[in-house]
Each structure stands twice: as C-alpha cells, then as structure tokens.
Amino acid sequence: MAVQYSIQSGYAILYDQHIKVQWSKFVWERCSIPKHRYILWLALHQKLRTKEQLSKYFPAMDTVCLLCGDHKEDITHLFFQCTYSKICLVKMKEWIGCRVQTEHYQALLQWISKAKHLSKLRKGFFIAVVSALVYHIWRVRNDVLWSSKIWYVNHIIEVIKRELKLRFIVSVYKGKRNRDKEWIQKL
C-alpha cells in the first residue's frame, strides 16, 4: 500500500528537524526599525565580521577592540563586555526606566519577555531599544574602522532616542492606550 504525500506532512517533517531559538521573537519584533533588526539578527547568529572573525582570513590583522582598545574584538566582547557598550546600555536603561541589573543583551531580552508589569507596547519599545543599541554600536565600530571617528556616547543615545520616539509616534502606537502614549511622549 502506497503512502500518500501531502504538503502538510512534508512541512511537519521539516519543522520537526528545525531547532527553535529563543531570540527569534525579539529580532523580528515589529516595533524595531528594520535595519536594526537585521544587524541584531546577524549579531545573534555570530555573523558580523568582527576583527576576530576577519583574523581567520588575515592572520596578520590585529584583533584589538576598536572601541575600548583593551580586549580582542569579537561579538561577545563588542556588545556585552566592552566598556563603551556597557556605558551605552546603562544610559539607555536609565532613559527607559529599566531597573534590571544585567549588562548582557540576551539576558535583558529574556527579562523583557518575562516582565508581567510591562504592556505589550512597552515590551516592544524595550526590544526596539536593545536592537537600536546593537545597530548603533556596530555603526560606531565601523566609523572607527573606516573613518577613524568615534562618537560620544551621549550622541548615540540622542540619536537612538530620536529614532525610536519618531518610529513609535508615527507608526507603532496608533490605537494604543493613552497611558502608553503618554509614557513614550514623556521619554
């Protein structure tokens, strides 16, 4: 007796083999700006071309972090351990009123997803902040590499604030609760 194939059974076989990652819902959060989402996705996949990754192809290349000049530049250091990144994260957490003590973006994303006291809009906003930070830190790193220009932390924070407030005011919070609208406008 022949087994009849269906698209649904084929999808089920493929889906069962697929490993579900915890961070996918954060990366593709619709509140985030698309270019920020893409860089966050690359970072979480360890696909950004840091000096450490490039040194595999160019062994003579120095691998010192461009932002702090202290450690080897890899994804973990650049976004989670670099003093420049930590200062940016602390300032952004102050701005949005996030009191969680973590300095690691993945732990921060997990905290956001589990926070019961945050509305859906505020969770989306916090995730957009994290993806904007990753994007802008990568952008600053590239400016240092290609233009020998480093941005002040306060400048990055102001750029992120402007981008995210504009994004939320213009496109995201139509039809949302007044309390959330007031919260974003006060930021």
- Residue 8 in domain: no
pLDDT value of residue 16: 66
pLDDT value of residue 136: 96
- Residue 88 in domain: yes
Which structure tokens are listed for 39? 């860089």
Condensed to tens digits (0 to 9), the pLDDT of residues 96-114 reads 887 777 766 667 777 777 7
Long-range contacts of 163-166 (CB under 8 A, 24+ apart): 163/33, 163/132, 164/33, 164/125, 164/128, 164/129, 164/132
Query: For residue 159, what are the domain limits?
Result: 22-186
pLDDT value of residue 142: 94
- Residue 7 in domain: no
- Residue 139 in domain: yes
- Residue 116 in domain: yes
- Residue 70 in domain: yes
Condensed to tens digits (0 to 9), the pLDDT of residues 30-53 reads 788 899 999 988 988 888 999 888
- Residue 83 in domain: yes
- Residue 91 in domain: yes
Mean pLDDT of 68-72: 89
> CA–CA separation, 132 vs 105, rounded Å?
11
Condensed to tens digits (0 to 9), the pLDDT of residues 12-27 reads 777 666 565 566 667 7
Instruction: State the first-to-last Cα distance of the chain, in angstroms, to the nearest integer.
Output: 67
In the chain, how many domains are there? 1
Write the CA distances from 140 to 21, 27, 28, 149, 152, integer angstroms: 28, 20, 23, 8, 9
